[in-house]
Each structure stands twice: as C-alpha cells, then as structure tokens.
Amino acid sequence: MAIRNLRYENDEILKKRSREIEVIDEKIKELAQDMMETMHKWDGVGLAAPQVGVLKRIIVIDLYEENTQFTLINPMIIKEKGTQEVDEGCLSFPNKYGKVTRPKEVVVEALDIEGKKVKIKAKDLLAQALCHEIDHLNGIVFTEKVHTGTLETVTPENK
C-alpha cells in the first residue's frame, strides 16, 4: 500500500468523466487500498480515483464509525429523497469550504471490491459523501455547487 499524490484545484483531471471499471484485478484492488490509505492520511471522509490522478469509477468512504467504510466500483445514484444544506470541503481544495445543497437520502448501487453487487441506503453525512464522490467521477467538483457567497478559505490564522 502507498500514499498517492492528491490532485488539486486547477488540475484538468478533476474536470474529466471517469471510465467504468470492466475488470476488478489486482491493480484495481491496490488502487482501492492506496486510496483508503491516502484518504486516512489527510483525515478525509471520501476520495474518488480522479483525485489521485486515475480516471476510473471507484470511490472510497469512511465515516470513522463501525460499518461505515466503503469501497465502491461503478457507483450510481438510483434514488434521491429530500434535501439538506451542508458545509462541504474537499481534499482537492484544501482549506476551502462552502454551503452546498445535497439530497438528504440516496440509494446507490455499485460493486464492492470483490465484484459483488451492493445497494447502499444512505442519509445525512453518508448521503452527502456519496453524492460528493460520485460527482468527482462525473468531473464535477463541489465548488461548482457552492451557494453564492459562501465559499471561504480557512487558514490557521482565521480558523
């Protein structure tokens, strides 16, 4: 396992749509492990493959509670319900935060790391994280969805 380099704000790869994963081989499993390790190093809740420079449809999420760690391949939101206004940040936009409207609840279908179909019913923070990371796979970054006038840069001085 290894820590991967994050891609930041103006990197063109963050604007590109990721490709479906056809085969879950050892390279994909290694990528998933590296992504989880990279996300943990930076205390993130989620990470998408484009954020480490790989245009493949894979995300990792960890809410740091029991049974809230996920590796999802080719995830798709199949149902949304309600809305929530949330404060959001992103590992690819260090120290930037803003208010975003996300679905309150989602249902996501994907494959797990073994290639088994999974369906996740999520609400609140997990729903937010799933939407944020799936947006990354579609070349959409959170700053495109931030409510006007709410994007802030937080530095150690103004924390």
Q: Which residues of 39-78 are buried (b: 16+ CB within 10 A; e: fewer)?
A: beeeebbbbbbbbbebebbbbbbbbeeeeeebbbbbbebe
What is d(CA 61, CA 36) in angstroms, rounded to the nearest whole number?
8
Q: Which of 133, 144, 152, 157 is catalytic?
A: 133
**Any catalytic annotation for residue 133?**
yes
- Return all residues near 119 (Cβ < 8 A) that are at least 6 apart: 107, 108, 109
Are 81 and 41 contacting, i.e. CB atoms less than 8 angstroms apart? Answer: no
- Residue 18 is given by DSSP the state P
- Residue 155 is given by DSSP the state -
Longest dimension (CA), the chain: 47
- Annotated catalytic residues are 133
